[in-house]
Amino acid sequence: MMSLLPLGELPALPLHEAGKYVAGAYVVLFLLVLIYVAIMAVRLGRVERELGELLELSSQRPAPPSDTLDLGRPPAAPVGAPSE
């Protein structure tokens, strides 16, 4: 019977029935953001772990000569590199 009615002429739902739909829609948005933040947290953990591995690797290396890598210093920008 419902499908025979023109969709635009359906009556408004009472508040107690509409509430669950409205809550559902807003919860969907909240969950999307929450899932995204959780994924970002996992990625951040991975980056942190990789960074720890690299720091460990660099600490195991012999002391570099003066013209090689210094991890404590920011690297020199190459000539002509576009800046972000």
Query: Concatenated DSSP letters for 51-80?
Result: HHHHHHHHHHSPPPPTTS--TTSPPPPPTT
Angstrom distances, CA of residue 53 to CA of 3, 24, 61: 62, 43, 13
CB of 39 to other proteins, least distance (A): 9
Residue 63 or 76 having the CB closest to other proteins: 76
CB of 79 to other proteins, least distance (A): 10
Binding site for other proteins (CB under 8 A): 2-3, 7-8, 10, 12-15, 17-19, 21-22, 24-26, 28-29, 32-33, 36, 40, 43-44, 46-47, 50-51, 54, 57-58, 67-70, 74-78, 81-84
| DSSP state at residue 81 | P
